[in-house]
């Protein structure tokens, strides 16, 4: 079937409550053409992350996304036409792109576009081998400075970053406790991720469960949530303990005001360290992380859990899943499979073969 228009999501209205389709506008436009220093890509899988909501809640003067503009994020995409020397038609890339079928991009952004290695599926490129896995890898191996036998606790442990961080810590010889919401997530952590203990914060008292599972305290806390759980971890931090600040999803909702941390002075009492984590700081080492993660995936030491929503039209619903508690694993949106060849795609969109 001929594809003559480009389906896309525009950001329409700042969230005043839970984010959803009502904050976006579904529209169509002509398929764009690349200029010098640009390439036309067909988006295959969208990488959906909690931090995307931050650009929707902040005003433009604070770096927020202006209403009426294309919603953007990271995606695995296939190059259709390129005017950038290092990329060729047919390449699969992982890069900043738009919530649309076809995008014109320059390969720049939070970091430069990455060419996906042959044999790596587009969903893995947007998930475990994308920024999600890379952040988890460096958060554990570099910021946490782990030592075998230490106790490692991670929040949002069944989410995209948390599930990888928990398993990397386990591979490196740590004793791992995961905190997640719901029986399905807790069961997955125990049976598939093979953590040493799991806490369901919806049905269990986190404080008492931490006391039971970490009787000697916590050496490393990998924080994806912030809020009260961060305070609980601070209370139980051992001498020279470390806290990795990766995310604060408890603060991402515009109507939620979460206090804390209230007892950060505990860091003084235990000579502790709390450090933020930004994936872009390790851009020059991305190949190292991808190689290690892929090796563990191939050997079966690392398991992936993907929460896949099929269809570009459901992208806002996928973003909403991250805050409703329905999401289990890395949130992805599948838009399309790669075409058999680029010439066929160019004919479909009205180009020349």
Beta strand residue intervals within the chain, DSSP E? 5-11, 24-30, 39-47, 72-82, 92-98, 102-105, 114-115, 151-154, 175-180, 197-200, 218-223, 237-245, 273-276, 306-310, 330-334
User: Can you tell me which residue has the tokens 């294309």?
Assistant: 70
Quote the pLDDT of residue 22: 94
Quote the pLDDT of residue 263: 85
pTM, entire model: 0.91
3-class state of residue 96 by DSSP: strand
Quote the pLDDT of residue 142: 97
Q: Record the tokens describing residue 290, joined without a space.
A: 């991808």
Task: Report CA Rg, the chain.
Answer: 21
The β-bridge partners of 139 are none
Asked if 55 contacts 63 with a C-beta cutoff of 8 angstroms, the reply is: yes
Closest to 158 measured CA to CA, from 175, 136, 138, 130: 136
For the chain, which domains are there? Answer: 5-127+305-348 (3.90.180.10), 131-281 (3.40.50.720)
Residue 27: partners with Cβ closer than 8 Å, 6 or more residues away: 7, 8, 9, 10
Residue 265: partners with Cβ closer than 8 Å, 6 or more residues away: none
- pLDDT tens digits in sequence order for the chain, 353 residues long: 345 789 999 999 998 888 999 999 999 999 999 999 999 999 999 999 988 888 888 888 888 899 999 999 999 999 999 999 999 999 999 999 999 999 999 999 888 999 999 889 999 999 999 999 999 999 999 999 999 999 999 999 999 999 999 999 999 999 999 999 999 999 999 999 999 999 999 999 999 999 999 999 999 999 999 889 999 999 999 999 999 999 877 666 655 566 668 888 999 999 999 999 998 899 999 999 999 999 999 999 999 999 999 999 999 999 999 988 888 899 999 999 987 566 645 545 544 33
């Amino acid at each position: 079937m001929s594809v003559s228009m480009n389906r896309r999501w525009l950001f329409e209205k700042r969230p005043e409550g839970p984010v959803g389709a009502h904050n976006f506008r579904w529209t169509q436009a002509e398929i764009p053409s690349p200029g010098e220093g640009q390439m036309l890509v067909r988006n295959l899988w969208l990488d959906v992350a909690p931090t995307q909501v931050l650009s929707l809640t902040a005003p433009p003067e604070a770096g927020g996304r202006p209403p009426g503009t294309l919603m953007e994020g990271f995606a695995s995409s296939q190059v259709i036409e390129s005017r950038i020397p290092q990329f060729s038609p047919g390449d699969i890339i992982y890069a900043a792109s738009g919530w649309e079928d076809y995008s014109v991009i320059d390969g720049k952004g939070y970091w430069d576009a990455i060419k996906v290695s042959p044999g790596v599926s587009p969903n893995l490129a947007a998930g475990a081998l994308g920024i999600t896995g890379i952040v988890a890898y460096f958060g554990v191996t570099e910021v946490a400075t782990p030592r075998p036998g230490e106790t490692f606790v991670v929040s949002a442990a069944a989410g995209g970053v948390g599930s990888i961080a928990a398993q990397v810590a386990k591979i490196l010889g740590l004793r791992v406790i995961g905190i997640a919401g719901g029986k399905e997530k807790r069961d997955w952590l125990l049976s598939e991720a093979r953590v040493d203990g799991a806490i369901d914060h919806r049905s269990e008292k986190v404080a008492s469960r931490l006391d039971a599972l970490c009787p000697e305290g916590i050496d490393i806390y990998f924080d994806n949530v912030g809020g009260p759980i961060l305070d609980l971890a601070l209370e139980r931090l051992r001498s020279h303990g470390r806290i990795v600040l990766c995310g604060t999803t408890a603060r991402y909702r515009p109507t939620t005001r979460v206090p804390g941390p209230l007892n950060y002075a505990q860091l003084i009492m235990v000579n502790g360290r709390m450090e933020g984590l930004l994936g872009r700081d390790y851009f020059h080492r991305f190949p190292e992380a991808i190689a290690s993660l892929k090796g563990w995936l191939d050997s079966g030491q690392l398991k992936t859990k993907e929460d896949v929503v099929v269809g570009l039209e459901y992208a806002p619903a996928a973003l909403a899943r991250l805050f409703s508690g329905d999401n289990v694993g890395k949130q992805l949106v599948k838009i399309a499979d790669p075409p058999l060849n680029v010439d066929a795609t160019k004919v479909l969109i009205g180009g020349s073969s």
